[in-house]
C-alpha cells in the first residue's frame, strides 16, 4: 500500500466492484480508455488488474480518497505483452477531476516503480485528445517520446534520474 497526503493506493479487490463498475460505465470517463463497459466487462477489467498483481507482482492500484474512504480511480504500473514499455497510468472517476489526484497518484506510483520495482524509466500512453492526461504527464516532468504507438497515441517518458532531480528541486523549494 502507498499513502499520500490525500490518497491510499492499494491492490484492487472485490470491495471495489461497484465503484469500478460505475467508473467504467461512464462514457466521458472511458472516452480515451476503450469506451464504456457493462457490468460483466467491468468485472473482467477489475479481475484483469487484480490478476496482474498475482502474475507480475504489480499492476494498477485502487485509489482511495482518505477523507471519505471511497474508491475514486486507479493508477499504477502496467506492462502487458506487446505494450510499448513499462507504463505508469491513471484514470479517475469524473467527480474528482481537477482535484490533482492524478498528479498525486502518478507521482507516488513513479516513486514506487523506481524504488521498489527497479524501473529506470516509465512511459505514459496517452490519446492525443486527452488534454487532461497530457497536462498530468507534463506536471510530473514526463517528456514526449519521438513516436507513439500503433494506435497513434502519444507516449510520454519519465526517466528515473530526471524525476529524482525534479523531486529534489521541489523538496528544496518547499523547505524555503
- Nearest 5°: phi and psi at 103? -65, -45
pLDDT score at 57: 95
Residue by residue, DSSP assigns 49-77 as HHHHHHHHS--EEEEEETTT--EEEEEEE
pLDDT score at 175: 53
C-alpha cell at 91: 484514470
CATH of domain 2-175: 3.40.630.30
pLDDT score at 168: 82
Return d(Cα 98, Cα 68) in angstroms, integer.
Answer: 17
Contact 2, 27 (CB under 8 A): no
pLDDT score at 174: 54
Task: Give pLDDT tens digits for 13-67.
Answer: 999 999 999 999 999 999 999 999 999 999 999 999 999 999 999 999 999 999 9
pLDDT band, residue 176 (cuts 50/70/90): very low
Quick one: which H or E segment has residue 161?
A: helix 160-175
Q: Regarding beta strands 87-92 and 7-10, do their DSSP bridges make them parallel or antiparallel, or are they unpaired?
A: unpaired
Task: Give pLDDT tens digits for 149-160.
Answer: 556 889 999 999
Task: Give pLDDT tens digits for 76-130.
Answer: 999 999 999 999 999 999 999 999 999 999 999 999 999 999 999 999 999 999 9
Amino acid at each position: 500500500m502507498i499513502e499520500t497526503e490525500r490518497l491510499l493506493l492499494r491492490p484492487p479487490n472485490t470491495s471495489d466492484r461497484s465503484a469500478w463498475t460505475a467508473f467504467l460505465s461512464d462514457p466521458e470517463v472511458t472516452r480515451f480508455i476503450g469506451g464504456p463497459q457493462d457490468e460483466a466487462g467491468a468485472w473482467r477489467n477489475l479481475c484483469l488488474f487484480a490478476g496482474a498483481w498475482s502474475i507480475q507482482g504489480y499492476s494498477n492500484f485502487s485509489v482511495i480518497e482518505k477523507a471519505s474512504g471511497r474508491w475514486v480511480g486507479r493508477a499504477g504500473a502496467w506492462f502487458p505483452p506487446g505494450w510499448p514499455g513499462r507504463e505508469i497510468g491513471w484514470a479517475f472517476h469524473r467527480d474528482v477531476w481537477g482535484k490533482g489526484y492524478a498528479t498525486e497518484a502518478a507521482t507516488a506510483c513513479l516513486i514506487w516503480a523506481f524504488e521498489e520495482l527497479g524501473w529506470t524509466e516509465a512511459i505514459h500512453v496517452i490519446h492525443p485528445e486527452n488534454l487532461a492526461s497530457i497536462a498530468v504527464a507534463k506536471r510530473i516532468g514526463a517528456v514526449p517520446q519521438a513516436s507513439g504507438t500503433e494506435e497513434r497515441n502519444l507516449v510520454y517518458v519519465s526517466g528515473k534520474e530526471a524525476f529524482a532531480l525534479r523531486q529534489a528541486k521541489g523538496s528544496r523549494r518547499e523547505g524555503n
